[in-house]
Amino acid sequence: MPRFETLHPFGCPAYVLENTLQPGNKIGKWENRSRIGMYLDPSPTHARSVHLIISIKTGLVLPQFHVNFDDFYETIKWENFMPKSDWQYKARISRERERPSKLQMKEKSLNT
């Protein structure tokens, strides 16, 4: 029987501790200490404290342990929460494809 304090709304923002910090290491003062994802569900194959989180940048679903949830969607601005990417276009979450930046276009022309 799940406890109510461990339930979170589907799709709520989830802040996952950076991989380098998880074993207790330190990072630079101005570096991000977490990355944002979307909460999907508790992991059915792991402990109760492990959650399935989808990365909004890559579209990969991974089990995560060090997670803070924003159950009331208070910490995000909707236009910044879901940046455009190819996987979102292919999954029909977004209607527009990500437009490459000028830097990406320049790098692509240099590589060819």
Whether residue 45 is predicted with pLDDT greater than 90 in this model: the reply is yes
Q: What is the average per-residue pLDDT within 11-39?
A: 87
CATH level 3 topology of 4-78: SH3 type barrels. (2.30.30)
Inter-CA distances, 16 with 53, 105, 109, Å: 9, 31, 35
Among 52, 59, 56, 100, residue whose Cα is nearest residue 78 = 56
pLDDT tens digits along 56-103: 888 899 999 889 999 988 887 655 555 566 766 777 666 666 665 555
pLDDT score at 56: 85
Q: Give residue 27's pLDDT band: very low, low, confident or very high (50, 70, 90).
A: confident
Report d(CA 57, CA 107) in Å as an integer: 20
Q: What is the dihedral of CA 22, 24, 29, 31, to 10 degrees?
A: -20
Q: What is the average per-residue pLDDT within 101-112?
A: 57
Q: What is the average per-residue pLDDT within 51-58?
A: 90
* Paired residues of 14 in beta bridges: 37, 69
The residue ranges of every structural domain in the chain are: 4-78, 82-112
Q: Give residue 29's pLDDT band: very low, low, confident or very high (50, 70, 90).
A: confident
| Token pair 């990969």 in the structure block, residue | 60
Whether residue 4 is predicted with pLDDT greater than 90 in this model: the reply is no
